[in-house]
Amino acid sequence: MLTAQQRTIIKSTVPLLETGGEVLTTHFYKMMLNEYPQVRPLFNQAHQASGAQPRALANGVLMYARHIDQLEALGPLVAQIVNKHVALQILPEHYPIVGTCLLRAIREVLGQEIATDEVIDAWAAAYGQLADILIGAEEDLYATHEAAPGGWRGGRWFRVARKVAESDEITSFYLVPEDGGALLDFQPGQYIGMRLNLEGEEVRRNYSLSARANGREYRISVKREADGRVSNYLHDQVNEGDRLELFPPAGEFTLRPSDKPLVFITAGVGITPALTMLEAALETRRPITFIHCARDAGVQAFRPWLEAQKAKHPQLRCYFCYSHPRPEDQGDANGLLTHALLEQWLPENRDLDAYFLGPKPFMALIKRELKALGVPEAQSHYEFFGPAASLEA
């Protein structure tokens, strides 16, 4: 339990975290990943190299320090962390490693004059409190997965039943349990964790589930990234009949109950979680608008499926926008998605629910434009495929 004095000390470090938090977390990750190789599989090294992971942690630590007196003010941040941890199988034994390295990083970056024994003790207590909250919430989710029909704890082996090219860049993998048992249901918008061994090195990744739960198989749809170690491995070396180890579905970015008009705005592979949400929403009478952006029709995935849904469901409208169309491409607009296009394509009633996913600059644009067009901010929902970041200018 944090004392009142320790809370005061934590809050006094907020200005330091605002100006130097990313330096601190960068040092923390470098230390931890060098000295504790057993935790390296839990972190995407591309996110380390880009600075996205240290930046996300710095923001998380800052938010925690700011709200140390009112943890409920953290809102969805805790649920996001818990679901990411469960998808990657973060376990209680990982927390002491993180705590040890975080306290060392605070002392080494801030120096002993600022990071006094009292400051370190306060942060040790604060970290212990947070670790207890996360470990408890994660265990609840692990136990729920294990007890549910078709559920499991830890890794479970699946076979690739089908491998289907959806576009020039995106390939779908249909995965069935190797043990032939029942399959855990999931919420539209959730993702699964995957554990791979590449040249003797363990790596873990999360992939959105791109087709609704049917009790028989999961589908993920993976974009080949130019420097993506795992995506290229899946595209080039994983074939039908091969085995993949999966963790149970997780994720808090799901379709929320509502009868308001519904809008999906996606770019690139950001379409994948929106597909399961759309399938669920089509079972209702809600008016639905689906806007998808891609470089060209060759890299766009799932257009035939979307057009088939549009033909079957009168409440669905679809629009396709190509930033660099080929001569043969036929979209509804060429170039980048603009304010004018959104104004034209959105329902007249702006009291709607919007879900948008794609690259960070795209999501930042959509967030600004939806607000400018009168969509309530509380009804605009988005998720990051990688570490969480700010969409503010």
Tell me whether residue 92 is annotated as binding: no
Q: Which of 95, 218, 322, 355 is catalytic?
A: 95
210 assigned ligand-binding residue: no
The C-alpha atoms of residue 370 and residue 366 are separated, in whole angstroms, by: 6
- Annotated binding residue at 261? no
Tell me the C-alpha distance between 283 and 156, whole Å: 31
CA distances for 104 relative to 28, 32, 55, 109, 111, angstroms = 8, 10, 18, 8, 10
Answer yes or no: 93 catalytic: no
Q: Is 211 helix (H, G, I), strand (E, B) or coil?
A: coil
231 annotated as ligand-binding: no
Q: For residue 303, how far is the Cα from the chain centroid?
A: 23
Confirm whether 29 is a catalytic residue.
no
Could you tell me the CA-to-CA distances from 128 to 123, 134, 293 in Å, in that order?
A: 8, 10, 44
Was 355 annotated as part of a binding site?
A: no
Does 191 count as an annotated binding residue? yes
Report which of 215, 286, 216, 213 is spatially closest to residue 256, judged by C-alpha positions.
Answer: 286
385 is in an annotated binding site: yes
Tokens 């080494």 correspond to 108
205 has binding-site annotation? yes
CA distances (Å), 33 to each of 27, 38, 98, 106, 119, in order?
A: 10, 8, 10, 16, 24
- CA 223, CA 232: separation in Å to the nearest integer? 9
φ/ψ of residue 321, rounded to 5: -125, 120
Q: Which of 29, 64, 127, 138 is catalytic?
A: 138
The answer on whether 273 is annotated among ligand-binding residues is: yes
Q: Is 386 annotated as a binding residue?
A: yes
Pairing of strands 191-198, 243-250: antiparallel
3-state secondary structure of 103: helix
271 is in an annotated binding site: yes
151 is in an annotated binding site: no
Paired sense of beta strands 353-357 and 170-177, if any: unpaired
Query: Does 28 carry a binding-site annotation?
Result: no
What is the CA angle 199-388-352, rounded to 5?
130
The answer to the question of whether 258 is labelled as a binding residue is: no
Q: Which residues are annotated as a binding site for heme b?
A: 85
Q: Which residues are catalytic?
A: 95, 138
Q: Which residues are annotated as a binding site for NADP(+)?
A: 268-273
Q: Which residues are annotated as a binding site?
A: 85, 191, 205-208, 268-273, 384-387
Q: Which residues are annotated as a binding site for FAD?
A: 191, 205-208, 384-387
